[in-house]
């Protein structure tokens, strides 16, 4: 490994972020309580990254990506976490785009990929249904063929940012014969299509990230199908590889640093029991980072990381939740007031507490979902039990 190259690359990324990450965007990150940043802010950061060609680190150069290797991508993600850059919406850039590259027609690639890079198309994911969450193969949204169209009837739920999106990638039921997975088709559709309605779901943190989406005789062109009819399960499994391919350590290091700063201000770092909790978290994050580097090396050499990705999902999300729990402990009763208006970037509404106390409770509430989405941690433990322990 050419360490001098990677050292220079890290320095270049760090300097560019320091020069281009505006005060307004830093405020967005400081007040973020969800993994998803609202569309106006995430697109503002995406436009800035586009000037440097760094919007899509995982894309090959042929499609507009920087053509980085695994080490460069890891360094970039680490430096973005260190600088507290806002996250970009993953549904287009990290999830559906790789599927379009692999399974799309040349026409689909030429149409969708540039629009994803520019932010002109903003995507949501139509997977979960009221009776189909972790058991995704139980989905029932009907798609009946009518000439050159599929006619959709049913609903999707927990659809993140459907109220912002103009596009959806969606799993639908096109056949009820044979195994459940065999009758699923993957569609790309326009959210402005007649018959689609979006109902907000406001979380316990008083945030509007999720929605339920209803389909009533919605006509989607067959040309919007990705892959073959009834082969959508194959596309969906490929997409999940990218949904779960998350580097946790850099963000956890940053979150732990902010927790220690708040604890120091509150005088808790002098308490031996609290210091013990911090030390345990630091050791856990170090272990996660070591596994991530091993996974990165495996991918770089063309090997599949296998169940290690499930282990990272479990340990990364549960360590994240423990940091959030300690943040509420540090804030104490100052975490109690609901300051939804004050924590909106640029609102001008004065906060009643410090920023760390203001976001502690909503961050904790939103963080409960991390061990559910992307394949629940119970599912990940089942994968490890089968593939590692042979159970």
CA distances from 267 to 7, 78, 161, 273, 274 (A): 37, 29, 39, 13, 10
Helix axes 23-31, 355-367, angle to 10 degrees: 60
User: How confident is the model at residue 243, as a pLDDT?
Assistant: 53
User: How confident is the model at residue 391, as a pLDDT?
Assistant: 83
Find the distance separating the first CA and the last CA of the chain, reported in whole Å: 38
Question: What pTM does this model have?
Answer: 0.88
For the stretch 374-389, pLDDT in tens is 778 888 899 899 988 8
CA distances from 48 to 15, 55, 118, 376 (A): 14, 9, 11, 34
Average pLDDT of the chain, as a whole number: 91
Ranges in the chain, pLDDT < 50:
none
Beta bridge partners of 219: 151
What is the DSSP code (8-state) at residue 51? T
User: How confident is the model at residue 20, as a pLDDT?
Assistant: 96
User: How confident is the model at residue 361, as a pLDDT?
Assistant: 95
User: How confident is the model at residue 1, as a pLDDT?
Assistant: 58
| Angle at CA of residue 17, ends 16 and 22, nearest 5° | 120
User: How confident is the model at residue 245, as a pLDDT?
Assistant: 53
User: How confident is the model at residue 297, as a pLDDT?
Assistant: 79
Who's near 330: CB < 8 A, 6+ residues apart? 259, 262, 263, 266, 268, 356, 357, 360
User: How confident is the model at residue 307, as a pLDDT?
Assistant: 80
Active site residue: 79, 84, 129, 243, which one? Answer: 243
User: How confident is the model at residue 216, as a pLDDT?
Assistant: 98
Whether 41 and 28 have beta carbons less than 8 Å apart is answered as yes
User: How confident is the model at residue 238, as a pLDDT?
Assistant: 80
Domains identified in the chain and CATH numbers: 3-88 (no CATH), 122-235 (2.40.110.10), 244-387 (1.20.140.10)
241 tagged catalytic: no
Give the residue from 99, 52, 116 showing the smallest Cα distance to 79.
52
Whether 151 and 180 have beta carbons less than 8 Å apart is answered as no
């Amino acid at each position: 490994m050419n360490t001098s190259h990677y050292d220079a690359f890290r320095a270049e990324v760090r300097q560019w972020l320091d020069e281009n990450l505006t005060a307004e965007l830093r405020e967005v990150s400081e007040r973020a309580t969800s993994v998803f940043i609202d569309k106006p802010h995430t697109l503002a950061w995406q436009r800035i990254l586009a000037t440097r060609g760094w919007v899509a680190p995982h894309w090959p150069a042929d499609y507009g990506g920087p053509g980085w290797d695994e080490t460069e991508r890891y360094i970039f993600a680490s430096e973005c976490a260190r600088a507290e850059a806002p996250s970009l919406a993953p549904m287009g850039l990290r999830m559906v785009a790789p599927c379009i590259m692999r399974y799309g027609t040349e026409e689909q690639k030429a149409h969708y990929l540039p629009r994803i890079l520019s932010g002109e198309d903003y995507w949501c994911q139509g997977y979960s249904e009221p009776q189909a969450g972790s058991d995704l193969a139980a989905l029932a949204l009907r798609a009946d063929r009518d000439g050159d169209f599929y006619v959709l009837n049913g609903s999707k739920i927990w659809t993140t940012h459907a109220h912002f999106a103009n596009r959806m990638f969606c799993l639908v039921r096109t056949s009820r014969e044979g195994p459940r997975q065999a009758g699923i088709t993957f569609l790309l559709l326009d959210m402005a299509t007649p018959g689609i309605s979006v109902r907000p779901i406001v979380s316990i943190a008083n945030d509007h990230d999720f929605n339920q989406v209803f389909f009533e005789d919605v006509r989607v062109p067959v040309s919007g199908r990705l892959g073959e009819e009834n082969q959508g399960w194959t596309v969906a499994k490929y997409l999940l590889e990218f949904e779960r391919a998350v580097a946790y350590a850099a963000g956890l290091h940053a979150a732990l640093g902010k927790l220690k700063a708040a604890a120091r201000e509150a005088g808790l770092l002098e308490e031996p029991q609290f210091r013990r909790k911090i030390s345990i978290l630091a050791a856990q994050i170090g272990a996660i980072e070591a596994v991530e580097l091993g996974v990165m090396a495996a991918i770089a050499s063309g090997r599949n990381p296998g169940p290690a990705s499930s282990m990272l999902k479990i340990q990364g999300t549960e360590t994240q939740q423990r940091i959030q729990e300690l943040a509420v402990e540090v804030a104490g009763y100052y975490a109690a007031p609901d300051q939804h208006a004050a924590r909106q970037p640029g609102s001008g509404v004065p906060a009643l507490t410090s920023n760390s106390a203001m976001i502690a409770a909503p961050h904790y509430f939103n963080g409960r979902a991390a061990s559910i989405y992307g394949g629940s941690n119970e599912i990940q433990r089942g994968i490890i039990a089968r593939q590692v322990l042979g159970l």
